[in-house]
Amino acid sequence: MASGAPQQSSQMAEETPGFLDAFLRDFPAPLSPDSPLPWNVPGTVLSQEEVEGELAELAVSFLNSRNAPLPLASSLAHEAVSQLLQMDLSEFRKLPRQEEEDNEEEEKEKAPVTLLDAKGLARSFFNRLWEVCSQWQRQVPSTARAPQQQWLVSIHAIRNTRRKMEDRHVCLPTFNQLFGLADPVDRAYFAVFDGHGGVDAAKYAAVHVHANIARQPELPTDPARALREAFRHTDEMFLLKAKRERLQSGTTGVCALITGKTLHIAWLGDSQVILVQQGQVVKLMEPHKPEYQEEKERIEALGGFVSHMDCWRVNGTLAVSRAIGDIFQKPYVSGEADAASRELTGSEDYLLLACDGFFDVVPHQEVAGLVQGYLVRQQGSVLQVAEELVAVARERGSHDNITVMVVFLRDPQDLLEGEAQGANGKSRDLPSDLSEPVNNTPQRS
């Protein structure tokens, strides 16, 4: 889910009837049992816990591909998912394969996992979504038309020289709409996940971490704790899936949840988020790396070890010490996230979330100068600033997947005016990378 520009409430009000009319022209009736599905099914089976996140992602991605305004797509997805979850889903139940029952002693004391047929669910869910669109064509509920805070976000991600793209990101300014949260607190969610050993864990985290955040009872009172619990629970869910499907991948991750005027962050591994405030970088977190003393002591206390083989690695294999997944390196590679909170005063410029493919070659202290230089050259236009930062990392020798997300917390024009005022006083040197403009041609991965 991604957003490159603010959603205007008035624009959405104008676009909603046209979108619903076009949708119902293309799909004049619910799907018959023999009709092809208009979307890709998320796997073969889903656990009961996975249904909400997977179907919400399925609906929002599908509706966005048809140019639905994101607030409308999120509201439609929530309503359709809610109605489906109120149904008796026993008709979709599938028995586990025989080989999944091998490890009986280990699983005896655990509650059995209910698995549901993903294709059947996806078909039933589309028909539920069709019903909601049909109802809303006549009258859109007031909750789906509520104004929302506007966000300006720049995102760019490339495979780079790696064989596969294993990064994933989430930009969800419509967090409340997607999960039907009706309290007066505005919420927006942003995340970057850096997968390794395959993309499955990163894809899973990009679907389920925010769904698990929304389900945490602590969300209204202790959002930071809700973030930690969501990471932990997503790790537990993915490990069950990894065991069922013989997956070995893992993913680091970092997320930011802005609730009203408070910033909450959580992270696992070496993906990072920084804050820039009045042109100065503010460090928000300490990444998890195997060579750091606290991580090394934790791993050794569990009976593992940290060694250097081209880089520091856990048990001679993984170069990360905390991650979702990595089933064969648990508990040495921990799924326990750290979290932090910070009140926002209105003087903050932007957040930057990125994977280690960026931060391994671009120091924190250079970010503000790079962004400011871009804004000066582009006269305040920001939509490709992430692309320029990715290009800088690539030029400096990064061969990894690179994902950069810049979330502006105030008008970029204000940042230019502040720079102009600062120029009347003390000058500030910019990094040498800014001597020549960086090519802004989009790169496809």
Q: 114 to each of 49, 81, 91, 96, how far by Cα in Å?
A: 9, 18, 12, 9
Q: 136 to each of 80, 130, 145, how far by Cα in Å?
A: 12, 10, 11
- In single-letter form, the type of residue at position 173 comes to P
By the 8 A CB rule, do 171 and 2 touch? yes
Which tokens belong to 78? 């929530």
**Other Cβ atoms closer than 10 A to 166:** 24
Predicted confidence pLDDT, tens digits, the chain (445 residues) = 344 444 445 556 667 889 999 999 999 999 999 999 999 999 999 999 999 999 999 999 999 999 999 999 999 999 999 999 999 999 999 866 544 554 544 454 456 788 999 999 999 999 999 999 999 999 988 877 777 788 999 999 999 999 999 999 999 999 999 999 989 999 999 999 999 999 999 999 999 999 999 999 999 999 999 999 999 999 999 999 999 999 999 999 999 999 999 999 999 999 999 999 999 999 999 999 999 999 999 999 999 999 998 899 999 999 999 999 999 999 999 999 999 999 999 999 999 999 999 999 999 999 999 999 999 999 878 889 999 999 999 999 999 999 999 999 999 998 888 665 554 433 333 333 332 323 333 332 3
Which distant-in-sequence residues (6+ apart) come within 8 Å of 160 by Cβ? 357, 394, 398, 399, 400, 401, 402, 445
Measured between alpha carbons, how far is 78 from 323 in angstroms, rounded to an integer? Answer: 29
Measured between alpha carbons, how far is 342 from 15 in angstroms, rounded to an integer? Answer: 36
Which distant-in-sequence residues (6+ apart) come within 8 Å of 83 by Cβ? 128, 131, 132
